[in-house]
Amino acid sequence: MSAILTKLRNVLVPAETKKSDDGRDQWPSRTAFLLASLGGAVGQGNIIRYPSQVFNNVGLQWFIPYLMAIFLLAIPTLILEVAIGQAYRGGAVAAYNNMNRRLRGVGLASIMVSAVVVVYFVIILVWIMTYFRHSFTSPLPWTDRTEEFYYTQVLRQVDPTPGVISPNGVESFFSYSGMGLIGEAVGWSAFIWFCVYLCMFNGVGITGRAAYFTMALPIFMTIILLGRCCSLENAGRGIKLYFATWDSDSIASGQLWQTATGQVFFSTGVGFGYYIAYASYNSKWANAVQDATIIVCSNCLFETIAAFAVFGVVGYLDINPSNTPRLGAFEIGFLTYPAAIAAMPGANFWAVLFFLTLMLLGISSTYPMLDVIVTAIMDRYHHKVARPLVAAVLVVVAFLISLMYCTQFGYYLLDGVDRWINNLALVFVVWSELSLSTTVYRFKDVFTETGKPAWTIYNGGYFLGQILGVAVGHSVSGGAGAGLGIGIYVLGAVISVFLCKTPSAPAPRFWNNNAYLKRFWFLAFYSGNQLRRDLNVIVGSGKNWNIPVFWSPLIRYVSAPILFIVYSLAYPEFWTLRNDPVYVFGFILAHFCLIFAVVALVLPRYYDVFVPMHRLDDGKRIAAPGVLENLIVGQAEDAAEAGSRSPKSSDDELKGEKP
């Protein structure tokens, strides 16, 4: 018996974790890394949130902004996160510190986002497990009473006393009387946190094995559900609504573009820091660009295909946007789906399969968020603490904090925190990643070539244009805001070019045609382009996919401004919710993440405590315009000699490079 148990333990828990050449833990295989990363992206939101967004904007026109967001936002951002995690061999704080010490706050902010979300994310799994338990009861207890069952037996919520906002301001605040703990919710929460611990306590060795179960099995079960739901009576009506309807008028709707962009952004899972942490356990020379593309495309393909199941249910229930109010993710998952399942032959089987699928997908999205914190602690204290102990302490602390969501007002609290963490904090973190990484990376090179005043004025115009542009866009009109924002940027660019001294280092071929073009290239493109070149030495080696030339201009001048506009859209909504304490709490909590990112720009030394002691100086670089970083740090015996004979580091390569 003991021999059997030992063999079982060796299957589930690897006796020895694979190591990279630098001694860092390494994934047992590339498939394990991809599945674990996909687990962070693919969750129950792909099955219930995505269909709700499509239903509310139904028609093929949805896929125009959706596909544009995939290629303009999701893939470029994920390339950045996977590449820096893999190249700089550390979690979010260590990786961003390696780019520049002033970016430490961005890494810390992404960890805080994960810490806040993971605590309330578990309560959704608690609701799923409550349904799962009742799925073994025949007939299903929510038959013909889906709303009553959800609100009274699952959420057990007590409605608050509404507050009042008058033209004179807030007259009274919402009052929540249902403060009691829900016993079943506490029990399921403890069970889920224990499962999370089992998936990540011993590092990527066990996480890689857990990913095969928490991702591969749900995909198989989703295929079964897809076949059943698409074979329901009148399922074709819903599928036609999804994939054979066209509404050209809605293309001009800002809501369609905002919703599709938000769905891609939140579904992909960038900004949480777990891609950086997971990529740091890759082989240093892995194919980061290809991996990032596979993760994004697989995630979007999964949710696009899985949505056919929901629209089969939509046709079966004969609902559509003309006869049904807007559907949210929770309505799809806990009202629409259960109502259809209760009416199916073999209802109990389909209920068990559906909620088990949601639970496993939810677990696969939960442990990556906790792993972000574990990786940061292990990076900081290196071998001084045991990973299983760190994971255990974090799980216990997270469980205790999550108890506030296991109350009768937990649903309201979740909504209040989730709204602002997603719409404010997360968007701001990713905007900071994209805009700051292409601004401060190796900025001493730009100082040397252009002068500090020119660099300051140019970047001042870049950031001020976005801030004042969206402010005027909200207060006056979108056209006025766009005009002002672009005008400020252009004015700053023109002034800085005339103040700038002519760089002595070469620029790519087109930009070397005259002094003004050369000055502009160094101010506008140098930092991002040099980041791309330095990363490509590692992640683009051999037959790996290279980060393309257009990547850095794309994330700086397209992706970042789009995200800042999305970020700004959250603030007007707060004005209508300012008399609700749970929304005020979530709003304040979200801004702590913003403060973490901003303070580090000015006072990076205050963040030394979060950075591994032996890596405090990683973000400090001497000025060496146009020279690849591996040459700066002495990986070649003679930088000048190596630069003259290495195609990747020579001036000839730079001159021949397309802008």
| Listed residues 433, 462, 483: the one ending a domain | 433
Q: Are residues 98 and 79 in the same domain?
A: yes
Q: Are residues 479 and 421 in the same domain?
A: no
Return the CA Rg of the chain: 26
Q: Are residues 167 and 200 in the same domain?
A: yes
Q: Are residues 492 and 625 in the same domain?
A: yes
Query: What is the band of 632 on the pLDDT scale with cuts at 50, 70, 90?
Result: low
Q: CATH number of the domain that 284 lies in?
A: 1.10.4160
Output the pLDDT for position 652: 37
Q: Are residues 538 and 392 in the same domain?
A: no
pLDDT surpassing 70 at residue 594: yes
Q: Which residues of 204-235 are buried (b: 16+ CB within 10 A; e: fewer)?
A: bbbbbbbbeebbeebbebbeebbebbbebeeb
Q: Are residues 172 and 274 in the same domain?
A: yes
| Residues in CB range of 17: below 8 A, 6 or more apart | 25, 26, 202, 203, 204, 205
The dihedral built from the CA positions of residue 327, 332, 335 and 341, taken in this order, carries a sign that is positive
Instruction: Flag whether 496 is in a domain.
Output: yes
Instruction: Flag whether 605 is in a domain.
Output: no
Q: Are residues 41 and 180 in the same domain?
A: yes
Output the pLDDT for position 631: 65
Query: What is the band of 4 on the pLDDT scale with cuts at 50, 70, 90?
Result: low
- Average pLDDT, integer, range 526-554: 94
Q: Are residues 525 and 641 in the same domain?
A: yes
DSSP annotation string for 391-436: HHHHHHHHHHHHGGGSBTTHHHHHHHHHHHIIIIIIHHHHHHHHHH
Q: What is the pTM of this model?
A: 0.91
Output the pLDDT for position 501: 92
Instruction: Flag whether 580 is in a domain.
Output: no
| Listed residues 389, 408, 433: the one ending a domain | 433
Task: Write the pLDDT tens digit of every residue in 230-270.
Answer: 999 999 999 998 988 888 777 877 778 878 888 888 889 89
Least confident of 18-32, 91-105, 138-152, 392-406: 18-32
Question: What percentage of residues in the chain have a pLDDT greater than 70?
Answer: 93
Q: Are residues 479 and 330 in the same domain?
A: no
| Residues in CB range of 206: below 8 A, 6 or more apart | 12, 13, 14, 198, 199, 200
| Listed residues 389, 407, 433: the one ending a domain | 433
- Average pLDDT, integer, range 18-35: 86
Instruction: Flag whether 399 is in a domain.
Output: yes
Instruction: Flag whether 269 is in a domain.
Output: yes
Task: Write the pLDDT tens digit of every residue in 542-588.
Answer: 889 999 999 999 999 999 999 999 888 888 888 888 899 999 999 99
pLDDT surpassing 70 at residue 186: yes
- Structural domain tally of the chain? 2
**DSSP secondary structure code for residue 624 in this structure:** -
Instruction: Flag whether 503 is in a domain.
Output: yes
Pick from 35, 34, 424, 422: nearest CA to 263: 422
Residues counted in the chain: 659
- Average pLDDT, integer, range 163-187: 88
pLDDT surpassing 80 at residue 16: no
Output the pLDDT for position 206: 87
Instruction: Flag whether 586 is in a domain.
Output: no
Q: Are residues 424 and 452 in the same domain?
A: no
Largest distance between two CA atoms of the chain: 81
Instruction: Flag whether 7 is in a domain.
Output: no
Query: What is the band of 647 on the pLDDT scale with cuts at 50, 70, 90?
Result: very low
Enclosing domain of residue 202? 30-433
What ranges in 280-343 are assigned the alpha helix state H?
A: 288-317, 329-331, 337-342
Task: Write the pLDDT tens digit of every residue in 48-71.
Answer: 889 888 888 888 889 999 999 999
Q: Are residues 168 and 312 in the same domain?
A: yes
pLDDT surpassing 70 at residue 196: yes
Q: Are residues 415 and 501 in the same domain?
A: no
